[in-house]
Each structure stands twice: as structure tokens, then as C-alpha cells.
Structure 1
Amino acid sequence: MTRRSGRLQAKSENASTHKHKIARIRKEQCSRRKTLVTSKRIHCEAQNLWTEEGIFEAPFDGLEKDTGVAPSKQLIQPSPFPLLSWGSSEDVWVKMLSKEVKYKHNKSFLQQHPKLQPKMRSILLDWLMEVSEAYTLHRQTFYLAQDFFDRFMLTQENVNKEHLQLMGITALFIASKIEEIYPPKIQELAYVTDGACLEEEILQMELIMLKALNWDLCPETVVSWIKVYLQMASLYDFSNLLVPQFSQDTYIQITQLLDLCILDVGSLDFKYGVLAAAALCHFLSFDVVQKVSGLSWDAVESCVNWMAPFVETVGGYSGVQLKEFSKVAPEDRHNIQTHADYLTMLNEAQRRQTQSMDGTFPPTPPSSTEKVTTH
């Protein structure tokens, strides 16, 4: 009995010591987190990036070149995220914004490739959407591939159109290995090219592309941004922030518009966050869009007006419906990349775009009344 009592006492003392140790570690982590936030604020103040309201300017400085809007009008409000149990909402928000500067894309890459036409890019991306649907790949996978391809083209010169399919399928191959749990095998991706690209060629292009991109493979895509915006606009359960709380139907309506827009090389004139916010402006009131994105009307105005012909074109077609996939759970259906007759829609949108040059689509903010229910 004495020996057993001794063991129980020792066990109790160890448990007490363990609890004190955990409490001390948590206290140190909290102190370290406060120090980090303070040092970050001091760092931002030193670079004139922090104002009294806690507004960040730096991440969207590049918009001045793209939209002609002065940086002072592009103030990014503090994080729209609620308090997070797994991290700092401000850190997550700033990290997302910083990627808008790090991962650059621009339609000027066409000037480096005189043998290519904008329509060739549209046809390639449309085909990649079709391949993505055939293999039930996620939307994020396709948009990663699109980003890899466009940024890779900025690093190259005088590419022939015969090499575009190889670059496109390689970009999708890389994106699949990053995003998918079960990515398509290289044999399958070579097969869908109908013999145009061999497995060895895809592997060689993969090394070339990774080196050219400097292994920077984690951009915030248009889909990343639209998911954040919709989640914040629809949020009703703060404890389940990582669980989608927006309507699947609303989401696929917006992503159909973005799918069409991304086929136009003019979409590369805008940051992905701005492109997503502009799309949301056509479905929700601008007050909501500004709250979830922190972007002023001046920052998104040109993109909203550029997108107007695409919105009108999509509106002329029957609404997109959620598709059933045999091996995809119902709650994940909206995340699968789908394909429609986008090339026909693109031609119509570009025709409307040419007609709008005379001012058919005036630069006026959206109505304050929400156009679509997000729940």
C-alpha cells in the first residue's frame, strides 16, 4: 500500500508539474505573439505603411500602374477575418496581400512572343478547363495552372504556338500535384494531348518551368480571393470559419463569370484580388464588397467596367447548374472545375466589349441593394 501510495503521489506531482509547464509555454507564446505584433507595427510605421486606423497601403501599390489610381486611394482596410483560434487574422490577411505583389502577371508577355495571338491562349485555357472537368480536378488546380502558364510566359521569348499545349499540360501537371489528393498520372495527361506531348517532354518542361518560376508556386488565385470574399460576406458561424458558409449556387454563378473573364488576356491587367472583387460587385452591393475586400470604388472601377460585357454575355445564357460527379461528395461539387462553351461566349463578350468603347457601360457603382442571396 505504501509503495502504491508513493507512485500515486509521484504521478500527481508529475501531472501538476506538466500543467505548470504548459501554462508557462502558453504564457511565453502569448508574450511572443504580442511582441511580434508590436515589432510589425513599428516596422510598418518606419516604412510609412501603417496609419492610425491600422490601414495597410503597400500590398496594392502596384495597382497604380495597372489602374491609374493613386496609392492613397487604394488603402486596404484591416483584416476582414474575425479572431482566429489557429492564427493571427492580420497575419493571414497581410500574407495574402503580399502575394499580390510577389506573383506578378501581365498581358504584356504577348509582346515577347510575336508569333502568338491572344486567341491561342484562350483556346489553350479552354482546353485545360475541359481536361480538368474530365479528371474532376478542382477549380483551384485549374487556376494554379493558369497562373503558372501566364507567369512562365513572362520569363520566355519567341515561343512557337506548337509548344503551347506542352506548356499548358505541364502547368496542369504541376498544379495537380500541389492541389489534388490523387492527381492524374503523367501517362493520362500525355494521353489527352492525343500524342502531341510525350511523357518525357512533360517531365523536361516541368523542370524548365519550375526553374523559370523560381519554385514560387503558391499564389492567391482568383478562386482563392472569391472564396474569402464570399465567406466573409456570408459568415454566420464564427467558430467554423474554415467550413464554407456561402451558397454553392451563388459560388458557381460567380465562378462561371470568372472562368469566362480569365480566358481574355485583358484580365491580366488586374490583380487577382481586384478581379474577384469586381466580379462580386455584379452580384452583391458594393458596400458588402468594400467591407470584405477593403478596396475602394476607385480601385475596382475600371475592372468592373471592363467586366460588364462579360456579365451581359453570361446573363444571356441559361444559369449554370451544379454538376453531379460520381466520386465527388455533394458538399464538394462546387469546387470541381467545369467546362462550358466558353469560346463562343468569349467571342460574344469581346464583340460587346468593342461596342462598349463608346461609353455603353458608364462607370457607376453598383446598387446598394444586394442582387443575390449569399446563404
Structure 2
Amino acid sequence: MTRRSGRLQAKHEHGSTHGDKIAKIKKEQCSRKKTQKRLNGGTQNLRVQEGTSKAEVLTETPMEGLQDAFDRPAFLHQTQLCPLPQLSWGSSEDVWVKMLSKETKYKHSKNSLERHPRLQPKMRAVLLDWLMEVCEAYFLHRQTFYLAQDFFDRFMLTQENMEKERLQLIGITALFIASKIEEIYPPKIMELAYVTDGACLEEEILQMELIMLKALNWDLVPETVVSWMKLYIQMASVYDFTNLLVPQFSQETYIQITQLLDLCILDINSLDFKYGVLAAAAFCHFISFDIVQKVSGLSWEMVEGCVNWMAPFVETMASYERAKLKEFVKVSSDDRHNIQTHVDYLSMLHEAQQKSTIPVNGIFPPTPPSSAEKSSSH
């Protein structure tokens, strides 16, 4: 495999180290704090005034404390503005609030493995890596894979004492459900049973589908990591707000970021973070934080832990061959970046995890609280 040196950085930040970038962002944030007053505690209702161009979303952060933005008050800590422009096809404020509410509704946590003593984090990584291979073989979209990943992780959070022999059945069933939601022409169930090499029968997939749907309470429309990422990069690249739904970003840059997300999602510690934060942290490694903050509404304090956790993955990925756009039969050139691809992620994951166990200045990086713990603390 061809290797290259260097780190993934924004074009105008070549040569700077991860530590330099973190120090620069902290300095900028400290400067802002001196000129801004924070709103004190208490609760107020989320207010969207009819006829206004922008709504002030009153919440502790865009990703935290939003209980149910439509009929329950949000916890107040600072004012966040909706970053979306005026939309001709709907209310930008409603769209934004709906996306934020899903971060609270669809809970995930790495603590799910505590409910399954016989399972190890590597088993999850191997399963998701295999699902990426299946997606590429059948030209399935990235969103399909990330839906399947979300279904799998949330389902495991509802179960106990699962045997490792059942993981492939759960994984392929999650992909079966996701493909029917996302794909115009989803693979037939016989095709998905075939790729398991006889390990999963069609009847078993159908039975597991019912079990999973009931366990998930039919909640099947989360904002995935890749949907947040697509929004952020679109907002950072947009030049024609009248066609916001039409991709206006570089496909080459997009696949670099999504490959980093693919690698990170294999590590179960990625579930410590909300999807919107995970996507924002990945974006931080390719562009200035000022832009990330503008398109996400997240403060540096909200993404710092994730950015630091992600650093070994960025370093590892930079030592491998740069991701390239692939050509797919019957896939148009303007959609090829959306097709889920696969590389030797397991080797990359092993290297990244080895790096993450090395202390910095004799100090091991702290483990941030899970998304569930963050929500419960408010």
C-alpha cells in the first residue's frame, strides 16, 4: 500500500501540529469569553417568532439539554442561532430544531457492551467493517451504512447477554432495514442472506427484522454522523442558498472526511459522543474552527474532547494512501461520493488505537462522558 507523510489539515494550516491548532483555538475562545456575557441558569421555552428571518434557540448547547423542542422547555445557558439560511421549501428554524431534538431522542452509548459480557469491542469493529464491504459490493450509500450502524448500536442497548454468533444476523438485518429506507433499489433479502455464506437464512433475517423494529420502537430516522457531516460541509461551501439541497462542496474533500468518520465509527469509544459533535470534530481537522462553529453552532468546549480523541485516527489515516473517488457501474459521477467504500480499516484502527494508548507528557487523555450521561446530568 502506498503511504504518504503529513497530517490532514486545512489548506491554509499546513505545517501546524495538532497541539498548535488546539492552542490557537483555545486562545481565540478565551478572547471571545472576555467580551461576552453568559446567560445565567433557569429555563425558558424555545421561542420561534412567526415572520422572523431567524429564530433564537435557547438551549444549553445545540447538542445538549434539548428535551423536546416542540412541547417542552429547553435548559438555558447561552443563546444559539440557527445556522441554516432561509429555505424556500420550509422553515429553517423548524428543520434545525427537529435535527437537534433527534440527538436527544436517539440515544447511543458504548456502555451497551456491559450488557453483553461475552462480546468484545473488536467484534463490533469487525462486523461494521464487513458491512462496509457489503455496502460497496452492492453500491449502497453511506447513509445506508450509517443507518445500519445506528440501528445495530441502539438495538444492542436494548438487549442482554447476546451471543457473538448472533452478531452477523443482527448486522445484516440492520442493513436490510436501512437499505429499504434509504435505497431506491435495495438488495433483495436473498442477496443479503447469500453474502453471509449460509450463516443467516432468509427466514432468520425476517424474524430478526421484527424483533429489531419492536425493540427500536420503530424509531428509524436518526440524524446519522454522515448526515450531520453533509450539512456542515454544505453550509461551509454553499454559494447559492436557493439550491441548498444540491451539493456544492468538493467531492474529493468530502470523501477524505467521510473516510475519517468511517475509521472512527469502528471504535466503540466513538459512541461517547453525539453524532453532531463527532462530525464537527472530524471537520475541525480539515478546516478552521471558526467555520465549524458557524455551521454547527457548537462551542469549542463541546468539541474539544472529541477533537483530541480523534487525533490518533487522523495521524494514522494520514500515513495511508489518500482516499480517492471510485467509479461505480450505473452510478452517476455526481453521486459516486455518496457510495459507501471500504479500505483496510481494521489495520488502520489497530494502529490508531495503539497510538491512543500512548500518554501525552505522561498523561493519558481523559475519557469524556457518554451521550446518555451528558443528557442525564442536565
Question: TM-score under structure 1 normalisation?
Answer: 0.79
Query: Could you tell me how far apart the structure 2 residues matched to 1:144 and 1:359 are?
Result: 39
| CA deviation map 1:131-158 (0-9, x unaligned) | 0000000000000000000000000000
User: Residue 250 and residue 239 in structure 1: after superposition, are their counterparts in 2 closer, same or farther (change >3 A)?
Assistant: same
Runs ≥4 residues deviating over 2 A: 45-53, 58-63, 356-363
Hey, what does 1:85 align to over in structure 2?
88
Aligned length: 311
One of 267, 270, 275 as aligned partner of 1:272 = 275
Counterpart residue identity of residue 54, structure 1: E
Q: Does 1:261 align with 2:258?
A: no
Hey, what does 2:188 align to over in structure 1?
185
* 3-state SS in 2 of match to 1:319: coil
Q: Percent identity?
A: 76
Counterpart residue identity of residue 191, structure 2: E
Query: Could you tell me how far apart the structure 1 residues matched to 2:43 and 2:306 are?
Result: 32
Aligned partners of 1:76 and 1:295 also within 8 Å: no
Deviation at 1:220, TM superposition (A): 0.2
Aligned partners of 1:257 and 1:279 also within 8 Å: yes
Q: Does 1:173 align with 2:184?
A: no
Query: What is the correspondence of 1:63-82 to structure 2 with a 5 Å cutoff?
Result: 75=78, 77-82=80-85
Deviation at 1:57, TM superposition (A): 1.1
Aligned partners of 1:100 and 1:271 also within 8 Å: yes
Query: Could you tell me how far apart the structure 2 residues matched to 1:224 and 1:315 are?
Result: 24
Deviation at 1:55, TM superposition (A): 3.4
Query: What is the correspondence of 1:233-252 to structure 2 with a 5 Å cutoff?
Result: 233-252=236-255
User: Residue 356 and residue 284 in structure 1: after superposition, are their counterparts in 2 closer, same or farther (change >3 A)?
Assistant: farther
Aligned partners of 2:132 and 2:145 also within 8 Å: yes
One of 328, 331, 334 as aligned partner of 1:331 = 334
One of 291, 314, 329 as aligned partner of 2:317 = 314
One of 133, 145, 166 as aligned partner of 2:148 = 145
* 3-state SS in 2 of match to 1:249: helix
Q: Does 1:103 align with 2:115?
A: no
Aligned-residue CA RMSD (Å): 2.2
Aligned partners of 1:231 and 1:244 also within 8 Å: yes
| CA deviation map 1:135-184 (0-9, x unaligned) | 00000000000000000000000000000000000000000000000000
- Select the structure of larger CA radius of gyration: 1
* 3-state SS in 1 of match to 2:357: helix
User: Residue 362 and residue 157 in structure 1: after superposition, are their counterparts in 2 closer, same or farther (change >3 A)?
Assistant: closer
Hey, what does 1:288 align to over in structure 2?
291
Query: Could you tell me how far apart the structure 2 residues matched to 1:237 and 1:150 are?
Result: 37
One of 53, 56, 66 as aligned partner of 1:54 = 56
Counterpart residue identity of residue 55, structure 1: V
Hey, what does 1:124 align to over in structure 2?
127
User: Residue 76 and residue 189 in structure 1: after superposition, are their counterparts in 2 closer, same or farther (change >3 A)?
Assistant: farther
Q: Which runs of 5+ in 1 are unaligned?
A: 1-44, 64-70, 364-375
Hey, what does 1:18 align to over in structure 2?
none
Counterpart residue identity of residue 99, structure 2: M
Aligned partners of 2:58 and 2:76 also within 8 Å: no
Query: Could you tell me how far apart the structure 1 residues matched to 2:333 and 2:277 are?
Result: 30
* 3-state SS in 1 of match to 2:325: coil
* 3-state SS in 2 of match to 1:55: strand
Query: Could you tell me how far apart the structure 1 residues matched to 2:357 and 2:206 are?
Result: 41
Higher relative contact order (CA 8 A, sep 6+): 2
Q: Which runs of 5+ in 2 are unaligned?
A: 1-41, 50-54, 67-74, 367-378
Deviation at 1:357, TM superposition (A): 5.2
One of 187, 205, 209 as aligned partner of 1:206 = 209
Deviation at 1:56, TM superposition (A): 2.9
Hey, what does 2:21 align to over in structure 1?
none
Q: Does 1:223 align with 2:242?
A: no
Structure with the higher fraction of residues in helix conformation? 1
Deviation at 1:62, TM superposition (A): 5.2
The more displaced of 194-203 and 80-89 is 80-89
User: Residue 271 and residue 359 in structure 1: after superposition, are their counterparts in 2 closer, same or farther (change >3 A)?
Assistant: farther
Deviation at 1:77, TM superposition (A): 2.2
Deviation at 1:81, TM superposition (A): 1.2
Question: TM-score under structure 2 normalisation?
Answer: 0.79
Query: Could you tell me how far apart the structure 1 residues matched to 2:344 and 2:309 are?
Result: 21
Aligned partners of 1:305 and 1:361 also within 8 Å: no
Aligned partners of 2:358 and 2:364 also within 8 Å: no
